[in-house]
Structure 1
Amino acid sequence: MQNRDNKKLWETSPFSDEAHHGSRFPQMVRVADCTLRDGEQQAGIVFTKQDKVDIAHALDRLGVYEIEAGTPASSDEDRQAIEEIAGAGLKAKISALARGRRDDIDLVAKTGAYAARLSMPISAIQRVNKLKLGDEEYLKLAREMTEYAKERGLAVIFSPYDTTRSELPLLRRLLEQFNRDKTVDRVRIVDTTGCATPQIIGFLVREMKKVTDIPIEIHCHDDFGLAVANTIAGVQQGAEYISVTVNGIGERSGNASLEETALALKVLYGVDCGLDMSKFVEVSRLVEERSGITLQAHKAVVGRGAFSHESGMVVAGLLKEPFTAESYVPELVGQKRDVVLGKKSGVASVDAKLKQMGIAVPSEVLPDILKKIKEEAVRTKRPVSDSRLRELVGASAVSP
């Protein structure tokens, strides 16, 4: 429970301290947003150069620490967008993705990005089928590419993707090599096919922390709906960076949602990612518009129905004390509360909605209006709109 301007912002479980005992949260958690790279890799999404620039500015206003702006090798437009973003004077650091190739690294360096995200698959199934590399060849290529990126003046974020299906001995050897060579600034755990559990991510972070002090980033996919939980599990064991996307867009079922992960860390775990969370809805709507991916109405945090209430019992409690129905105030994330009238509404709901709309009616007619509302909702299988409510109230309204 926190206060802003002496207003209670949330009311969560009293069991937090006991349940989270033993957590190893780092002192600071930073957001490395990859909406412009992995987000765009969702089938059917195309961001233009201007889309990318506009979203980058929005992410910067949000307070994101780092923006993974794209893959310069993928297209000229992507490269130009990264160049413009990197030269825009944003507070956020700008990184770009490169495969384990010198020409890819050269392209990243030319964009003006501060870091190359070297993406090289580490699991046997990926290495054999994509790179045809054995363990020794993989370690050799990793050394050569990280050294070359450093020579080009870039920070290096190494992404041994499909980490969650890798062999632990090879992962340990890779980290030990990075310790010796001093060529890597961060290592990203990648749950490429979204097959990990929170316990697996936590285990990997603990094992990696035994071998290296290099900061760890968590990048999870949502194939089992666990991306946010997995990301938090990594942070809970000491990972310092979270790789997330606005609205959770990304390959297949998407990535860990920026807004869900950051809000949960702040409210449920007391870990601040340095974001202005009141801008969540604003940034979400921009990405929704530019990506063409319409959010489900009940999407957590930023969905249009995330703070809509219809049930009569729920609304009756909400009117007396909002925390009977909500864990945090909608304004915290740029939302507004809404009372929806329909089949499940009660008299208190109707009274509150009419007052909100500035319509006065005698209290004795409220049950009759409620009956009409329920009948209308059943007939149309939809909630009653404000305009239709005015019609249903009709002559019952009291003249001012």
Structure 2
Amino acid sequence: MSDETKKLWETSPFTDEAHAALHFHSDVRVTDCTLRDGEQQAGIVFTRQDKVDIARALDRLGIYEIEAGTPASSDEDRAAIEEISGLGLRAKISALVRGRRDDIDLAAQCGVWGARISLPISTIQRNAKLKLDDDQYIKLALESAAMVKERGLECIFSPFDTTRADFPFLARLLETFAQEKTVDRVRIVDTTGCATPEIIGLLVLRMRAVSDIPIEIHCHNDFGLAVANTVAGLAQGAQYMSVTVNGIGERSGNASLEETVLALRVLHGVDCGVDLSQFMDVSRLVEERSGISLQAHKPVVGRGAFAHESGMVVAGLLKDPFTAESYVPELVGQSRRVVLGKKSGVTSVEAKLAALGLTVPTDQIPAILASIKAEALRTKRPIDDDRLRALVEAAG
């Protein structure tokens, strides 16, 4: 690790040994589905302009591919997908379709680069939604893929609920795709978020043993494992990650773009070509347009992700930031904050006073600290800068 990199983060000395058996692809790519699966979160509505603005922001971020929506869902979605496809973005634009000619025609008419064929593969999903036996399923999958390729589009096959599929049938499907050469990528979909990192890693390894079709990982966050599951799949050779800004998506959401990309860069040394410094701008845009407020302690982009109150923590932080942080906040467009409250110490008060340009005799600081703690207990809130100035004035 270079001296410059050491200034940005400080991770575990066990990394090299612990990660020796991992096999990341040499060109890991980000496919963002904020505009499709992200909007499927209950209560989120993106207008056409919202989608265009978010797509532009994702393109500036350096996303490889944007899954822009489902053309069959509404006229508004079709118009948005068509407009995004015509923006001349560097990012490739794809759309989700069912295994139907009319869906595929709609996607092609929107001018997208690729179509994502969504068909359920687990027994529980197929019994409830598709009513096809194995031979009929494979016939439909092949016909749909052929239609996509006939229209000059990239074909990404998304057999959803992959993590609950019967593997012999999945293997048969992959073998058939490999023979026909009409599918450019297969997406593992953890539809109900029930997989673990070990399951995702195993599934990638078994799929790669059957065919060399590139694999994408799409995980839901029902057990809080979406990021870990996505990284686990990539660590075993999957090339693509399907993520959303702020982790929005159905039920508990999807793997968070910012958390997954940062974990890859800092913890695994995998650079996905994404501009980390723009994370905050993109996150705030999606937060505003989705109406879904972030929890304060949300990793990477939460407003409190780099806020420090504990006196002992701040004392160490001021000597060496890596005593309390594994990477510098500027890496992701954030900044560090010292918060004054019940758990603060003298060092915290001194640091805050210096930051505000306030000069206070040393013998007055304990009294000011006592006032801070008392007020924080009474209000159950931290002390803001204006209130600190008032306390300093009262102490003087």
TM over 0.5: yes
Where does residue 113 of structure 1 map in the other structure? 112
- Which shifted more, 353-362 or 296-305? 353-362
Where does residue 10 of structure 2 map in the other structure? 11
Q: CA RMSD in A?
A: 0.9
Where does residue 256 of structure 1 map in the other structure? 255
Where does residue 316 of structure 1 map in the other structure? 315
- Which shifted more, 354-363 or 336-345? 354-363
Shift of 1:297: 0.2
Q: Please tell me whether the aligned partners of residues 185 and 214 of structure 2 are also in contact (alpha carbons under 8 angstroms).
A: yes
Q: Aligned partners of 1:32 and 1:349: how far apart in 2?
A: 42
Shift of 1:174: 0.5
Cα gap change, 1:267/1:7 in structure 2, threshold over 3 Å: closer, same or farther?
Answer: closer
Where does residue 348 of structure 1 map in the other structure? 347
Q: Please tell me whether the aligned partners of residues 308 and 337 of structure 1 are also in contact (alpha carbons under 8 angstroms).
A: yes
Shift of 1:3: 5.0
- 1:179 counterpart letter in structure 2: A
Where does residue 393 of structure 2 map in the other structure? 394
- 2:313 counterpart letter in structure 1: V
Where does residue 198 of structure 1 map in the other structure? 197
- 1:54 counterpart letter in structure 2: D
* Residue correspondence of structure 1 range 42-57 to structure 2 within 5 A: 42-57=41-56
Q: Aligned partners of 2:175 and 2:291: how far apart in 1?
A: 43
Where does residue 223 of structure 1 map in the other structure? 222
* Residue correspondence of structure 1 range 285-304 to structure 2 within 5 A: 285-304=284-303
Shift of 1:208: 0.4
Q: Please tell me whether the aligned partners of residues 2 and 10 of structure 1 are also in contact (alpha carbons under 8 angstroms).
A: no
Describe the SS at the equivalent of 1:91.
coil
- 1:100 counterpart letter in structure 2: G
Q: Aligned partners of 1:183 and 1:122: how far apart in 2?
A: 18
1:99 aligned onto 2:89: no
Where does residue 60 of structure 1 map in the other structure? 59
Q: Aligned partners of 1:189 and 1:75: how far apart in 2?
A: 26
Cα gap change, 1:207/1:72 in structure 2, threshold over 3 Å: closer, same or farther?
Answer: same
Describe the SS at the equivalent of 1:218.
strand
Once the two structures are superposed, residues 109-134 of structure 1 have per-residue CA deviations (whole angstroms, 9 ceiling, x without a partner) of: 00000000000000011111101111
Once the two structures are superposed, residues 306-352 of structure 1 have per-residue CA deviations (whole angstroms, 9 ceiling, x without a partner) of: 00000000000000000000000000000000000000000000000
Q: Aligned partners of 1:71 and 1:357: how far apart in 2?
A: 51
Shift of 1:358: 1.2
Q: Please tell me whether the aligned partners of residues 367 and 395 of structure 2 are also in contact (alpha carbons under 8 angstroms).
A: no
- 2:296 counterpart letter in structure 1: A
Where does residue 265 of structure 2 map in the other structure? 266
- 2:218 counterpart letter in structure 1: H
Which residues of structure 1 form unaligned runs of 5+? none
Where does residue 207 of structure 1 map in the other structure? 206
Shift of 1:24: 1.0
Once the two structures are superposed, residues 167-208 of structure 1 have per-residue CA deviations (whole angstroms, 9 ceiling, x without a partner) of: 000100010011011100000000000000000000000000
- 1:231 counterpart letter in structure 2: T
Q: Aligned partners of 2:15 and 2:51: how far apart in 1?
A: 39
Describe the SS at the equivalent of 2:41.
coil
Q: Please tell me whether the aligned partners of residues 3 and 9 of structure 1 are also in contact (alpha carbons under 8 angstroms).
A: no
Cα gap change, 1:7/1:23 in structure 2, threshold over 3 Å: closer, same or farther?
Answer: closer
Q: Aligned partners of 2:394 and 2:176: how far apart in 1?
A: 80
- 1:164 counterpart letter in structure 2: T
Where does residue 378 of structure 2 map in the other structure? 379
Q: Aligned partners of 1:3 and 1:237: how far apart in 2?
A: 29
Q: Aligned partners of 2:377 and 2:394: how far apart in 1?
A: 23
Q: Please tell me whether the aligned partners of residues 362 and 396 of structure 1 are also in contact (alpha carbons under 8 angstroms).
A: no
Shift of 1:236: 0.4
Where does residue 145 of structure 1 map in the other structure? 144
TM superposition score normalised by structure 2: 0.99
Where does residue 80 of structure 1 map in the other structure? 79
Q: Aligned partners of 2:37 and 2:358: how far apart in 1?
A: 48
Describe the SS at the equivalent of 1:120.
strand
Q: Aligned partners of 1:239 and 1:167: how far apart in 2?
A: 20
Q: Please tell me whether the aligned partners of residues 361 and 396 of structure 1 are also in contact (alpha carbons under 8 angstroms).
A: no
Q: Percent identity?
A: 74
Q: Aligned partners of 1:347 and 1:393: how far apart in 2?
A: 14
Where does residue 329 of structure 1 map in the other structure? 328
Where does residue 34 of structure 2 map in the other structure? 35
How many residue pairs match? The answer is 396
Where does residue 357 of structure 1 map in the other structure? 356
- 1:316 counterpart letter in structure 2: A
Q: Aligned partners of 1:69 and 1:356: how far apart in 2?
A: 44
Once the two structures are superposed, residues 74-118 of structure 1 have per-residue CA deviations (whole angstroms, 9 ceiling, x without a partner) of: 000000000010000000000000011110000000000000000
Q: Aligned partners of 1:344 and 1:137: how far apart in 2?
A: 64
Cα gap change, 1:395/1:375 in structure 2, threshold over 3 Å: closer, same or farther?
Answer: closer
- 2:159 counterpart letter in structure 1: P
- Which shifted more, 38-47 or 149-158? 149-158
Q: Aligned partners of 2:350 and 2:158: how far apart in 1?
A: 56
Shift of 1:28: 1.1
- 2:358 counterpart letter in structure 1: I
- 1:13 counterpart letter in structure 2: S
- 2:145 counterpart letter in structure 1: T
Where does residue 70 of structure 1 map in the other structure? 69
Describe the SS at the equivalent of 2:160.
coil
Q: Aligned partners of 1:147 and 1:128: how far apart in 2?
A: 25
1:279 aligned onto 2:268: no
Which portions of structure 1, spanning 4 or more consecutive aligned residues, are displaced by more than 3 angstroms?
1-4
Cα gap change, 1:309/1:65 in structure 2, threshold over 3 Å: closer, same or farther?
Answer: same
